[in-house]
Amino acid sequence: MREILPALSRWYASGTPFGLATVVAVSRSAPRGPGAAMAVGPDDEVVGSVSGGCVEGAVFELAKEVVESGESRLHTFGYSDADAFEVGLTCGGEITLLVRPVSPATDAGFGEVAASVAEHRPVVSATVLDGPAPRGAALAVWPDRVAGTLGSEGLDAAVTDDARGELAQGATGQRHYGAHGERREDDVTVFLQSFAPPPRMLVFGAIDFAAAVARIGLFLGYRVTVCDARPVFATPKRFPEGVEVVVDWPHRYLSGTETDDRTVVCVLTHDPKFDVPLLEVALRRPAAYIGVMGSRRTHDDRLKRLRDTTLGPAELTRLRSPIGLDLGARTPEEVAVSIAAEIIALRWGGSGTPLSGTAGAIHPPVLRPV
């Protein structure tokens, strides 16, 4: 959704209705997860994707139909080899989509939601999928306020409470309620889509590899900051647009920077006077990944220095060093790919083994990513 918001905001501001298809449920090897979106706007302009190409043609027609009728639809696509003309997912999975018309007249809060997402302000979009409440009815929930309604005061209150809980976890999924928000009933199905601020990638050391790592971090959806104490290297012109560049001692900057369980820390300086003080701070802070560049000799020397600090064995085991997966990478861009591969594998519990050498589901069930 984040990727297509500029187009959606433009269409919404013009007052022109558009069809928005959102993945609200998946099973087995579905190519896109809940929250993936595709929209069809004026002049049949298409943005986004819900299946990587398998069912987009059919979704295009559905989106046009809901705009014309003004009524939201819930539709499931799955694999089919019995009917050559039936649209299906060749991967064998199944996806359920909510396809709804969006305009200022049908969803008064959409513009505010889009603005919040663009400005990295946390918000949840709650949409009715099924039940006595109007399908497609939308409620926007922020930490301190709400906009819109799902048709019932009690339902709005229950969904608001759950939405704020989901937002704290960065979670997206379905919840079930009674017609008036009763917790132990399942008459109404509501899709809660969390837009938490993007996770942070902190890159320390403004060397040539840092630009490649920063670029792939942006591509993966991170908010990227590059920090180096040397102003001659830490200049914005050396890095992609959208990367924050900070001139400061790494350990001092990290000490004053908030991190959480989604934060990625990449230390590329491989200089003890920078690395050791920085890692003393990093290894005590919340983070999903702390990787450090350097040869095996550098790694051994770094560990020796770190053991001389007050860091304990449990903290030192969090260190991913040498950084990245063994891909045989040489160039800065290849090394960036190897680092990104390790981050993704750690996030989803992947092994890094070629899929051709594994068996079973390609995408095993995951309750929530790191």
pLDDT tens string 84-116: 334 555 555 688 999 999 999 989 889 999 999
User: CB-based burial of residue 93 (10 Å sphere; 0-12 exposed, 13-18 middle, 19+ buried)?
Assistant: buried
Give the closest residue to 2 by CA, choosing from 97, 113, 105, 132.
113
Token representation of residue 170: 């960065």
Nearest 10 degrees: Cα torsion 270, 266, 220, 263: 180
Could you report the per-residue pLDDT of 207-261, keeping only the tens digit for each?
989 999 999 999 998 999 999 999 999 999 999 999 999 999 999 999 999 999 9
User: Residue 85 has what pLDDT?
Assistant: 36
The per-residue pLDDT for range 272-287, each reduced to its tens digit, is 899 999 999 999 999 9
Q: Where are the beta strands (DSSP E) in the chain?
A: 18-27, 37-40, 46-48, 73-78, 94-102, 123-130, 138-141, 146-148, 173-177, 188-195, 200-204, 223-228, 244-247, 264-267, 289-292, 319-320
Tokens of 167: 């937002």
Q: What is the pLDDT of residue 28?
A: 65
- pLDDT tens by residue, 1-36: 788 999 999 999 999 999 999 999 987 655 678 899
- Whether 161 and 105 have beta carbons less than 8 Å apart is answered as no
Distance CA 256, CA 267 (A): 17
What does 130-154 look like in DSSP terms, one character per residue?
ESSSPTT-EEEE-SS-EEE--S-HH
3-state secondary structure of 128: strand
The three-class DSSP label of residue 99 is strand
Phi, psi of 265 (to 5 degrees): -120, 120
Question: Mean pLDDT over residues 69-74, rounded?
Answer: 94
